[in-house]
Amino acid sequence: MFLSLPVGGWLASLAVAGYTALTVRKIVKTEMIPAEPMGKPSPFSSLEVWFWSGIFLSSFILALTNPTALGTSARTCLPFLLAATVLGYMVGTGLPSNVKKVLHPIICCALSADLAALAFGYFSKSGTDAVLGDYLTKVPSNPGAGDILMGFLGSVIISFAFSMFKQRKLVKRHASEIFSSVIIATIFSLYSTAIIGRVIGLEPILTVSILPRCITVALALSIVSLFGGANTSLTAAVVVLTGLVGANFVQAVMDKLQLNDPIARGIATASSAHGLGTAALSAKEPEALPFCAIAYALTGIFGSLLCSVPAVRQSLLYIAG
């Protein structure tokens, strides 16, 4: 009974987002235009590399010599860790093609931040785990294996930004379909989960824990923390389960529902199965990638904003019981 909620909820959210996009397209009567081809990225200049290297070295030395200058430990480490992440991307993009097959720029981002944390932990005698704990989990504790892997999430999300910027004209042209579909799908996802959880007799704490089932795990954990007392482990598990279901079945289900429009397919996938569904669809349907990426980001942003409103939180808690 419990597992039917995230699976059935994914299917319902998919249908709501997809059909909303189609309906709005019929109202505004926008025509689909081809996406611009993704050209080879331009290499970074020496000035850019030296600029970020200077930021990294200065913030690293300042953190070592005067750790209280920037406030708490997390704020002390954040400047040079962010600079190390940017430098990692710059280095990764400049590597030969055969090396990139192993050291992708996204992997270089996370590895460079880990190496910077390792160096700071060694020289400051604070330990690497404490630095990474501050950076990845925002609390001064030892990070687990999942926290280390979550370090890659920020770099992956940033990679979507390049695709969205490249297709900004396309996204602007279809803004009405994108925003209306995301807003309606997010509201539907939150309130339908609360209602169904109440109807099938779930414990209120379980219902609240799975409310953000269609939002990427990093933001879903922040959302459930607003409600207090939620089971974050259950939240992460349900979000991942929703993404896995979407990644495996989203194309077949959309074909059955006759959601053939690439805009509707992209928005429906990202609004119902977040990052995993986006990655699965974009690999086979690149024309849907810009809409997947923007809907993926907007779903998380709007869900977070919506749940930060006290009246909305209270209404969801009331419905959940």
The predicted-structure confidence for 26-60, as pLDDT tens digits, reads as follows 888 776 655 444 445 556 788 888 998 999 999 88
Residue 71 has pLDDT above 60, yes or no: no
179 and 152, same domain (yes or no): no
Mean pLDDT, range 165-181, rounded to an integer: 78
Environment class of 41 (CB within 10 Å of its CB; exposed 0-12, middle 13-18, buried 19+): exposed
**Is there a contact between 243 and 273 (Cβ–Cβ < 8 Å)?**
yes
139 falls within a domain: yes
Last residue of a domain, one of 165, 198, 227: 165
Let me know whether 316 and 177 are in one domain.
yes
Identity at 310, one-letter amino acid code: P
Q: How does residue 89 score in pLDDT terms, banded at 50, 70 and 90?
A: confident
Domain that residue 299 falls in: 4-36+167-320
CA 62 – CA 192 distance, rounded (Å): 50
Same domain, 197 and 275: yes
Do residues 31 and 50 share a domain? no
**Does residue 178 fall inside a structural domain?**
yes
Please tell me the predicted confidence (pLDDT) of residue 167: 65
Residue 110 has pLDDT above 60, yes or no: yes
One domain, residues 171 and 304 = yes
Residue 41 domain-assigned? Answer: no
Separation of alpha carbons 248 and 229, rounded Å = 32
Average of per-residue pLDDT values in the chain: 78
Q: What is the pLDDT of residue 38?
A: 45
Cα–Cα dist 302/160, whole Å: 17
Instruction: Give the N- to C-terminal CA distance of the chain in Å, as an integer.
Output: 18
User: Each residue of 282-319: pLDDT tens digit?
Assistant: 667 777 777 887 888 888 888 888 888 889 889 988 98
Residues 28, 150 within the same domain: no
Question: Are 76 and 153 contained in the same domain?
Answer: yes
Residue 307 lies in a domain: yes
- Is 139's pLDDT higher than 60? no
One domain for residues 159 and 237: no
Q: Which residue has the higher pLDDT, 98 or 13?
A: 13
The answer to whether the pTM exceeds 0.85 is no
pLDDT digits (tens, 9 = 90+) for 174-222: 888 888 888 998 899 889 888 888 888 888 888 888 888 888 877 888 8
Q: Distance between CA 281 and CA 300 in Å, rounded?
A: 18
Q: Is 172 in the same domain as 285?
A: yes
- Pairwise CA distance, residues 9 & 90, whole Å: 40
Do the Cβ atoms of 184 and 20 come closer than 8 Å?
yes
Asked if the structure places residue 109 within a domain, the reply is yes
Residue 252 in any domain: the answer is: yes
In a domain, 69, yes or no: yes
* Contact present, 224 and 205 (Cβ < 8 Å): no
> Is residue 210 located within the same domain as residue 176?
yes
Residue where one domain finishes, among candidates 165, 191, 213: 165
Within this chain, do residues 157 and 176 fall inside the same structural domain, yes or no?
no
In this prediction, residue 1 carries a pLDDT of 59
Q: What would the mean pLDDT of 4-18 be, rounded to a whole number?
A: 82
Is residue 21 in a domain? yes
Q: Are 304 and 274 within one domain? A: yes
**Closest to 114 (Cα-Cα) out of 73, 160, 150:** 150
Last residue of a domain, which of 143, 165, 187? 165
Number of domains in the chain: 2
Q: What is the largest CA-CA distance in the chain?
A: 63
CB contact at 8 A, 254 and 265 = yes
